[in-house]
Amino acid sequence: MPIRPDLLLHPRPEGLYCPAGDFYIDPLRPVARALITHAHSDHARPGHGAVLATRETLDIMALRLGEGFCETRQIAPLGSSVAHHGVDIRFHPAGHVLGSAQIAVEYQGTRIVVSGDYKRTPDPTTPAFEPVPCDVFVTEATFGLPVFTHPDPMGEISKLLASLMRFPDRAHLLGAYSLGKAQRVIRLLRLAGHDAPIFLHGALEKVTAYYVSQGIDLGDLRKVVGVPPAELGGRIILCPPGSLSDLWSRRFPDPVTAVASGWMRIKARARQNGAELPLVISDHADWPELIGTLPETGAGEIWVTHGQEDALCHWCGLNGIAARPLRLVGYGDESEGEPA
């Protein structure tokens, strides 16, 4: 008889807990043993004892949190099995950012896949999401409403390039989260034929350099610090979204302000972020990707961790799929004013 899913994994104040393996997945508080899906700050926190994650996630956590972010670390190669107290653990690509993974946990005939954050749109900077057959699929629902249907990202990039041609004397400040979004946007710009230098806010430099070290060609990148603003007309400067509204941005005369985010679909959110040029580019699954992924897993039950939990659970009910919200609080609140 397979073990009941809620006995294999269940929510605790620290996060999703596996009693059989005595570990947590993406815990919100310091714990003895943590499995981490990816290195965004709402999923990867410092202070744990032992951490199991992909090599890239561990590297990026060390870059962002310092080498002492945990006591011990262990690499989980994608697709390989790690056995712990009789629990089989496997990491599979999530397509979210470099190093991101779904975590499959199997014990006594029951398999649960915790997706972390994921997207299905192709991304030239990270391996694509792979559906993993399971009994229970734990999904995010950041954009879990039908209004969120993300457009072709290359079409959004073309809007940015058109603005450069329209305003060749204005610097273009582009707010993009420092892990994943910024590097993806740069790579998309290169694929669209933009080979001019791209300038970086200091907060983006370390992670972007790491992407380059992993063989991702991002072209001519330069630090923006020390460059006279008069020399930045017609140039793209990437920065954290929060920098668009602080003193840093005021050194640029009459810039075009852009933000890359799935939330830019909502005009009020674009205004809130000060986006003159909103670009709907997200590293999360949109509504069609969410409802398309759930049947692909073959899961008989869906657990929703964060985002529009009730809407996605309602869709599952209408389509004969058992579902429940986990009501975990603390995800989707990444640093630097990340607009997803």
Span 212-232, average pLDDT: 96
Q: Map out the domains of the chain as residue ranges.
A: 5-147+284-325, 153-279
- pLDDT tens digit string along 90-105? 999 999 999 999 999 9
pLDDT at 336 over 70: no
The residue among 290, 275, 267, 42 whose CA lies nearest residue 176 is 275
The CA distance from 292 to 300, in Å, is 15
pLDDT at 338: 44
* pLDDT category of residue 340 using cuts at 50, 70 and 90: low
Q: In the prediction, which pLDDT does 333 show?
A: 52
Query: Does 135 have pLDDT greater than 50?
Result: yes
Neighbours of 191 (CB within 10 A): 13
Mean pLDDT of 197-223: 98
Which pLDDT band holds residue 203 (cuts at 50, 70, 90)? very high
Q: How confident is the model at residue 245 (pLDDT cuts 50, 70, 90)?
A: confident
- Domain 153-279, architecture per CATH: 3-Layer(aba) Sandwich (3.40)
Same fold, 5-147+284-325 and 153-279: no
Please give the pLDDT value at position 65: 96
Q: Are 207 and 216 in contact (CB under 8 A)?
A: no
**5-147+284-325: CATH architecture:** 4-Layer Sandwich (3.60)
Structural tokens at position 42: 């709402």
Distant-in-sequence, close-in-space partners of 114: CB < 8 Å, separation ≥ 6? 9, 16, 25, 26, 37, 102, 103, 104, 105, 138, 305
pLDDT reported for residue 334: 57
pLDDT (average), residues 179-203 = 98
Report the chain's mean pLDDT, rounded to a whole number.
Answer: 94
